[in-house]
Structures are given as C-alpha cells and as structure tokens.
Amino acid sequence: MWLRTWAFLDRCFFGPAAARAGALGASLRVLRYPYAVLRDLSRGEINLRAMGLVYTTLLSLIPLLAFSFAILKIFGGHRDIQPIVYEFFRPVGGDAATELTNRVIQFASRVSSGVVGSVGLALLAWTLVGTIKKVEDSFNFVWHVEQPRSFARRLAEYMTLLIAGPVLLVGFIGLSHAALSSASVQEVVRLPLLQRLRGTGIVVAPYVMVTTFFTALYMMIPNTRVQWRAALIGALAAGILWAAVGKMFTAFVVYSTRLTVVYAGFAFVVAALLWTYFGWVILLAGAQLSFYVQNPAYLRLGLQPLRLSSVELEQLALKLMYFVGRTHVAGGRRWTVNRLATELGLPGAAVAQMARALERAGLVIVTDEDELVPARDVGRVGVHEILEIARNQRSGHVAPRNLPIPPVDRLLASVDEARRKFCGELTLRDLVDEAPRPAALHLTPRQSSSR
C-alpha cells in the first residue's frame, strides 16, 4: 500500500508532468523539495539519528552548560545564559520550562564551581568533543559525506567553537541589552511608529536568532562546503517549523492531562524528552532540505544507496575522463564533482566515488578547490585502462571464493581479450580529438552520416 503510494507520488513529482512548462510544472518542481524531505523522514533513518541525539543531548547538556559557565565566569557573563536555556525548554510549558531551567542551571553551576579544574575542564571538553562528533556524523549522513574530519582538525575546530560560541552569544545579548537601555535609544523608541516597530522586533527576534543559529550549524558542521544560500533556505524552513511545532507542542502539554495522570511528577521530564526529539528531527529535516537545495540531483534518489550496473560504471568512468581530458586539452573551466554530477544527471555520490577510484589509480588529481585534472598526459591514458578501473571497483564486502570453472573462465578470458584487442592502442587523447563540433552536438547519427 505505502510502496504504491510513494511510487505514485514519485511519478507525479518527477514524471513528465513536472518537466512541462507552465505553472503546474513549476509548482511540481518546487514541491519536490518538501516531498523529498517527508519521504526521507518516513523511511526512518533520520528519526533514528534524532533518537540517538536525544540520548546524546541528555548526557552532554550539563557538561556543556558547566563548560560555558566556566568560560563565561571569566568575562562575568555566566548569568546571561539562563534565558537561552529557558528558550530551549519554552515549548514544554511555562511552569515546567521554568523548573527545568532552574534545575539545569543549578546542576551546571555546582559542577562548574566544584568539579571544573584543570582535569575536570579537560574531561568536560573531551565529553563535549565526542558529543559534537556525533552531531557531525548525523549531518554528514544527511549530506552523504563519507569522510569525517581528522582528529586534529576536529579537536581544534570543536574547541574553538566551544570557547568562542558562548562568549559571542552572551556578548551579543549583552550589547543588545545595553543598546536598548541607553538613554538615547529610549528617547527615540518613544515615538509611536518606533514603539510599534520595537514590539514587532521583540516578537520576531527569537525566530531570527533561531534561523541564524541554524544557518551557522548547517554551514559549519558538515565536513563539506555548504553554500550560504542553501543553508539559509534550510534554516528558514527549520526555524518556521520549530516555531509552529513549538506552539502546538506547548498547547498539547498544557491541555493534555494524560501525561500528568500517567507520569505524575515526571510529566515535565517526559515532555522535555519529546520536545528534544522533535527539535532534532526539525534540525535534521532542515539540513536535509539545504542538502537538496545545493544538490538537486539527489531529489529522486534520497537517502537510498546508489547501485550502478557494470555498464553504467563503465560509461561513467569514460565520460568523466572525457570531460576532464577535453578541458585539459582545449582549455576552459575545470570540472568539479558537483558540476559533473549536474552535467551527467547523476547524484554526486556516484561521481565522487568514481573520481576517488580514478584518483587511487593515478589517472586524475583532485585539487584543493575540488577540481579534477589529469594525473598524467592524456595521450598515455589508455581507454582499456579506464574500463578496467571501472569494472574492478571493490564493493566493500568480503570477496567470494574464486571457484575455478574451466568453461566459464575460458569464456570470460575470451571476452576480456576481445575487449582488449578492440580498444587496442586507443587513448583518452584519441577520444578527445574525436569530439564533434559544437554545431553538431545535437545531430542524430543519421543526420551526421548524411553530412
């Protein structure tokens, strides 16, 4: 039932109707993005990641606040962190949010004043680095990033974030309070129009702060380059969803008596756990949307693993080397994995995997700007060598036992020999030199032969 429903929706959003010109086609192409995010949420991988991060949040909340207290005490701003904690628990309900905030701040204050010394501070920092790594793993999963940060880079960047983050946040809040409470500003805001704008600004400020915070997370945490436009779109959607779900969750907690009847005094703890889970789901869903905005080729594939056939792998390897070789010979803008994925109509994961295989074989080099250049002269890169690299990619599983079967072995050897003889001395330079003229790129074979 569900498979048929998703198949039908997939045909609607990615079928011929979505490719048409006009309002209907444009609407379907825009609606692909929320559809793809909802489809991925329904498959459960993101939900499992969110559940794991709830457990991580419970373990790291007190150490994070204690570490922040220890850092902010140096600047005298440790009291300004309480409103931030309250904003996180606000959807749980007024009284419950206040109680949770007071307890968490009390625990963190005791830890920061009693435990945090040279060794305690190091242990807290180590716990928080491990926690942020789990968050990074979840974001890398959403962004299809297989290579995490190195240990040295992770330690340096995470520690900078843990030290500078609370200072910048509390400093921003302190400067805002100082500016709003100054005499000159108070004189100006007494004007009727500015009073109205001030009220609107106070209402909008939490949403702006959440969106800014989410944008920073989406740009910094994944171990890949995230465009600010994609991060901002995902953060806007996540911020609006955060506000809407927060209000609905608050109404549910306030007007529902089942939590109190079943869980008694622990009702607010259960509500906090539920809200933490919803918060992580919203945050990861926004990250998924930002990923699709930057990589629309993944919209149809989603989080499913990509499995190309042997024929498709050979075609991909030859086309990738052809584009890289042609640019090297004729000049022009160098190809990146993302540009090649867009040009070939394939998800970036497939192109990136093939590029890594060709790089390991010594045929291409990936520069610091993620550009692909030939590793040696294109006249010395054999076509048969490219095909062999594509055909012999490892699946990552244990290789099966090589059982000798003479008839099958002779047949496969004959096929390989025929392929080798057909390719002969054909090189990548030969393919590049045979490139058709730009005016003939869209001609059919029959039209080309008639000319």
DSSP string spanning 167-182? HHHHHHHHHHHHHHHS
- Name residue, tokens 């500015």: 194
Element (H, E) at 66: helix 45-75
What's the whole-number average pLDDT of the chain?
76
- Nearest Cα neighbor of 240 from 306, 273, 280, 286 is 286
Name the most confidently modeled range: 89-98, 147-156, 321-330: 321-330
pLDDT of residue 169 exceeding 80, the answer is: no
Counting residues of the chain whose pLDDT is more than 90, the rounded percentage is: 8
Strand partners, 374: 364
Predicted local distance difference test score (pLDDT) of residue 281? 92
Predicted local distance difference test score (pLDDT) of residue 118? 55
Residue type, 393: Q
Model confidence pTM above 0.75: no
The number of beta carbons lying within 10 Å of the beta carbon of residue 251 is 12
Predicted local distance difference test score (pLDDT) of residue 393? 72
Contacts of 51 (CB under 8 A, 6+ apart): 277
pLDDT of residue 147 exceeding 80, the answer is: no
pLDDT of residue 233 exceeding 90, the answer is: yes
Q: What is the pLDDT of residues 181-231, one digit of tens each?
A: 555 555 555 656 555 666 666 667 667 778 888 898 898 888 888 889 999
- Nearest Cα neighbor of 279 from 103, 135, 126, 81 is 135
Q: Are 376 and 359 in contact (CB under 8 A)?
A: no
Q: Are 118 and 147 in contact (CB under 8 A)?
A: no
243 vs 359, residue with greater confidence:
359
Predicted local distance difference test score (pLDDT) of residue 285? 93
- Name residue, tokens 């529902």: 256
**φ, ψ for residue 373, nearest 5 deg:** -135, 150
pLDDT of residue 360 exceeding 70, the answer is: yes
Q: Are 337 and 301 in contact (CB under 8 A)?
A: no
Express the helix, strand and coil content of the chain in percent, nearest 5 each: 80, 0, 20
Name the most confidently modeled range: 103-107, 145-149, 240-244, 443-447: 240-244
pLDDT of residue 279 exceeding 70, the answer is: yes
Predicted local distance difference test score (pLDDT) of residue 284? 93
Taking the domains of the chain in order of start, what are their residue ranges?
2-41, 44-298, 310-394+406-440
CA-to-CA distance for 445 and 344, rounded, in angstroms?
A: 20
Element (H, E) at 302: none
Of 26-30, 132-136, 426-430, 437-441, least confident by mean pLDDT is 437-441
Of 59-68, 184-193, 412-421, least confident by mean pLDDT is 184-193
Which region, left, alpha or beta, applies to residue 144 given φ > 0 means left and ψ of -120 to 50 means alpha? left
Predicted local distance difference test score (pLDDT) of residue 340? 85
pLDDT of residue 448 exceeding 80, the answer is: no
Give the distance from CA 94 to its chain's centroid: 33
Q: Are 235 and 214 in contact (CB under 8 A)?
A: yes
Burial of 9 (C-beta count, 10 Å sphere; 0-12/13-18/19+): middle
Torsion sign, CA atoms 347, 352, 358, 363: positive
CA-to-CA distance for 223 and 226, rounded, in angstroms?
A: 9
Q: Rounded to 10 degrees, what is the CA torsion of 272, 276, 279, 281?
A: -130
> May I ask the CATH architecture of the domain 310-394+406-440?
Orthogonal Bundle (1.10)
**φ, ψ for residue 104, nearest 5 deg:** -65, -45
Tokens representing residue 333 in the block:
């803008």
Tokens representing residue 350 in the block:
């497939």
Q: Residue 262 to residues 160, 232, 272, 428: CA-CA distances in angstroms?
A: 44, 41, 15, 71
Q: Are 42 and 36 in contact (CB under 8 A)?
A: no
